Amino acid sequence: MRTAQMTIDPAFAIGAADRRLFGSFVEHMGRCVYGGVFEPGHPGADADGFRTDVLELTRELGVSVVRYPGGNFVSGYRWEDGIGPVGDRPRRLDLAWKTIETNAFGLDQFMTWAARAQVEPMMAVNLGTRGVQEACDLLEYTNHPGGTALSDLRRKHGAEQPYGVRLWCLGNELDGPWQVGHKTADEYGRLAAETARAMKLVDPSISLVACGSSNRGMSTFASWEATVLEHTYEHVDYISAHTYYDPSDGDQASILASAVDMDNFIREVVATADHVAARLRQPRKLKISFDEWNVWYQSRLQADLDRRGWVEAPALIEDTYTAVDAVVVGDLLVTLLRHADRVGVACQAQLANVIAPIRTRTGGPAWRQSIFHPFALTARYARGTVLRTEPVAPTYPTARYGDVPVLDTVAVHDEERGELVVFAVNRGTEDLALDLDLRGLPRPSGRAHLTLAAGDDPTACNTEAEPDRVTPRETTTPTVDGGRCTVRLPAVSWNVLRFATRP
Ligand code: AHR
């Protein structure tokens, strides 16, 4: 068996494991809203039409923040369409997803749903087809206490207290030629800066996210960030990053190394932001809002869009995830945690049905996809301080990223609860023996080892008929002797190693 070594010491702190790293995303796209979180005719829907099975799974998933209402959708959206009596709301063409938007679900319902799901709302404003005024109007409706036209309109609609939304995205992926209202970096940077300035006049307590690149492969990547930040640095708190990893070509070795790409992406955005800060003599360090990330079989999207004309809530990109995809998602979470000092928010895209951890059948049940499990367990156990780990491990070859380490890890230490949790991914197709040196911790002892192993059945999926085929299993609790232990990480697996750090 191949071996790897790692020393963990609480002195090597990176930063706090911010709860906002466990965010998700609800977009008016496909069946994420309609048939996902909202389905008034469903036997399990509550009085507001929210699916209670999806609400329960959302709470179980441990989601902290939910971004809304898009995505590409927001770039043509009129937020006023989604407020007031449902019968009076207009039906519109949603150009992003070639869909009829009924507006049966809108802002006030999202806020009610978010409270019930126990998540923090994160809103995006439309900077595709709209601008400064509409963004300020939306903010006034949402956050102003009362005594103005729009805040009183909210109160008339039943929300006496302001929603107090703290996190706001200044548009979505405006670097992308597919985006309605696509802009150059200068055009977007100017608009984002002016919108930010005005929004902070309406409510100075908000935090703002400027749009970074849609992905690291964009030809404008890095120069887009640099130009946008030249315009916006003093007004914003975050720059966004988005990425999706596509397993469609069947290259398992490469897809398992996706976190290598995410890691480089984060380092490059940080370097770009710090470069701009240096040029502007800005001492404040900007953070990243990684507000879209996931595994996505993207090659299926065009077929979904080609198949139909204008319809309501069609099934779009309802990817069924494999056990390998779950290991990849677990590894992407490891990467986000490892950058806890510079990534302040992260949202897996999306929550229900659309490339999502939660799947539903309209009128039927809801179930956990394979990728649900690494998210839920990371959100549950990554509490406290993220620690730097420097594993020494063998490498394996990949077509996409060259030679990469078989092992990826991060550790989180919760001093208060007396627990150290090591998240460890074995990307290799052989079992790996991991030698851990925990002598820097007072009296460590093994508590549990949970593993999601894809090696035996990489294509296994959870389906309506078999919803629990891919689930993490408890294996032998690690034995710590003299502060050292060896743990066997199965081939292609994502692992949670829990240790008590005091008797
Ligand atoms: O999450 C699906 C889509 O991917 C979002 O609408 C868009 O922002 C991204 O390109």
Residue 247 Cβ < 6 Å to ligand 1: no
pTM beyond 0.85: yes
Residue 172 Cβ < 6 Å to ligand 1: yes
pLDDT at 302: 81
How many C-beta neighbours within 10 Å does residue 476 have?
Answer: 10
Closest-CA residue, ligand 1 atom 1, reads: 349
* Nearest atom within ligand 1 for CA of residue 173: 8
| 125 phi, psi to nearest 5 deg | -100, 155
The best mutation among 75, 213, 242 to test binding of ligand 1, ranked by most ligand atoms within 8 Å of the C-beta, falls on 242
* Nearest atom within ligand 1 for CA of residue 25: 1
| 164 phi, psi to nearest 5 deg | 60, 45
pLDDT at 85: 97
C-alpha of residue 354 to centroid of ligand 1, in Å: 10
Instruction: Encode pLDDT of 318-368 as tens digits.
Output: 999 999 999 999 999 999 999 999 999 999 999 999 999 999 999 999 999
C-alpha of residue 487 to centroid of ligand 1, in Å: 39
pLDDT at 456: 82
C-alpha of residue 169 to centroid of ligand 1, in Å: 14
C-alpha of residue 71 to centroid of ligand 1, in Å: 5
Closest-CA residue, ligand 1 atom 9, reads: 71
Q: Is the dihedral of CA 305, 307, 309, 315 positive or negative?
A: negative
Residues 43, 51: Cα–Cα separation, whole Å: 9
Contact by Cβ (8 Å): 292, 244: yes
Closest-CA residue, ligand 1 atom 3, reads: 71
pLDDT at 305: 79
Residues of the chain with pLDDT under 50: none
Residue 350 Cβ < 6 Å to ligand 1: yes
Contact by Cβ (8 Å): 345, 292: no
C-alpha of residue 283 to centroid of ligand 1, in Å: 33
- Which DSSP helix (H) or strand (E) runs through 489? strand 484-489
Q: Hey, which residues are catalytic here? A: 173, 292
Closest-CA residue, ligand 1 atom 5, reads: 71
